[in-house]
Structure 1
């Protein structure tokens, strides 16, 4: 924790860069910006909202909020490229050594970010800890969505054994230098624990709050999500088989 001033100098080290991908989330962004600022009061932070070619006034609302929230940065994809690309673009632009992510629909609670960051950076953390992901114990979704998600998580856990039983949870923290070493592909954000472990780092999880969606609509159908998950799962399994363990790099 470095500063209570959200408008810290561009030269001052930051504790965390919060990256939020948004697409047609006009009704959620103002409240989410306000909540992030409140949750990270006392920390040196920036929040980077990446507008993935929204068709509503999401981008205009975010730009207007910059006058009130100096820690807010707004990026915009010229073409819709999906959540993983939006997150990647935000991480590339980020200045902090730790990245936090949130879904843009407001269902993740920004108040959970400090606890995840503290868990990642605690003095007694195991060597190599680089990722802490959220676990939604009390999900505020439809029964059909929860059943589909539970089935998908059981399948991926049986095959990947990465310890993640809630791969769709959008709130997480990860060390930026590690994130940038991960192989990029569409939907990679759903496989972060397995990809982190592929790089020889450790992943942990923590229970987080989950809220009802107040505005907007889900970008995926249950069937579409399942078909994408099965395709991506095969790709992640292949990536893990192609890893070569180098131990550690020593400079002499």
Structure 2
């Protein structure tokens, strides 16, 4: 099979019949399959697409009941695709299906990745506000800075890759966010990339999926694909939680010294225990969210495991802080230094034991 075209959908019941008819005309004579991957749309887009498959035998429909997200939908389609060329386009009629012919032509000429671009010859944008153009421009600039290999329109959701490119890189692809093209640009090495100009049209039916979360996902994705290779996002999150735990521990020491007659050693010990508990719950909710522990028994088991692992860190914290106190170091500074050394130990062990391999809904 020459071409597998994946179309991720969510609430596109009005657009999908129009798009499939257009594709049938443009790709007539092309050995193809079109895979609609729908995230169980409330408007029953998947049902509309399935009725069309009786007329178009090359149309396949996947209705996803649990997984959500555009990028993961694209990868789900790629995984079952049989074509040598794997292409992606939106269902909102904003991408120009005529460009698919140029995609195929460029692939036949040796390209490994072909990107539909709004910013090269033949490309353009219809009915975009100045604000959206500005946001797109800034996003493009950030992408070009973050990625060593980029194109004129890295934010494009209209592109194609050779199947061998996908197979070689699929285990590294992060299926989060809207811009799956960024993953291929960042991870596919020594690939020939070509661009095809097309005019991005205005949406007729349905609502745009663009939101503030999309911008946030883009920033996170760019971080992970650049600096994140050295300092993983998970480590940064763990560090932020660690800092918050330091504030908690410091505040507890303050309360103990102001309102109790406990010694400095006991104050530090209590602060460590309370910060361990707050760190566990915050890390479970945020840092390790994809593997978070659910249910009272899993959480209790996690707390026990977390405590057991953090015991070594607590002893390190306590030993360093008390040793520094003997040199006349301020109790707050002594505790902070011990806390940070212990945090490194806690992260390395917890990431490999407490939250290792636990499914989000398991």
CA gap of 1:102–1:74, structure 2 versus 1, over 3 A, is same
Deviation at 1:241, TM superposition (A): 6.5
Give the structure with the larger strand fraction: 1
Per-residue Cα deviation, 1:187-242 (whole angstroms, up to 9, x for no partner): 35140452354x33222212112211111111122x33222111110111147679
1:83 to 54, 65, 70: 70
Kept in 2: contact 1:132–1:206 (CA 8 A): yes
| Aligned equivalent of 1:213 | 203
The answer for unaligned runs of 5 or more in structure 2 is 232-362
Distance 1:90 1:180 in 2: 13
Q: CA RMSD in A?
A: 1.9
| Aligned equivalent of 2:145 | 158
Q: How do 1:117-132 residues align onto structure 2 when only pairs under 5 Å count?
A: 117-122=104-109, 125=110, 129-132=111-114
Give the TM-score, by structure 1 length: 0.82
| Aligned equivalent of 1:102 | 89
1:234 to 205, 223, 229: 223
Distance 1:42 1:145 in 2: 38
Kept in 2: contact 1:162–1:193 (CA 8 A): no
Per-residue Cα deviation, 1:38-79 (whole angstroms, up to 9, x for no partner): 111111001000011211121111011011111100011112
Give the TM-score, by structure 2 length: 0.58
Deviation at 1:167, TM superposition (A): 2.1
Distance 2:210 2:201 in 1: 18
Kept in 2: contact 1:112–1:209 (CA 8 A): no
**Residue-pair matches, total:** 222
Distance 1:77 1:177 in 2: 25
1:32 to 5, 19, 31: 19
The answer for unaligned runs of 5 or more in structure 1 is 1-13, 243-252
Higher relative contact order (CA 8 A, sep 6+): 1
Kept in 1: contact 2:183–2:225 (CA 8 A): no
1:139 to 101, 114, 125: 125
Structure 1 residue runs of 4 or more that deviate by more than 3 Å after TM superposition: 238-242
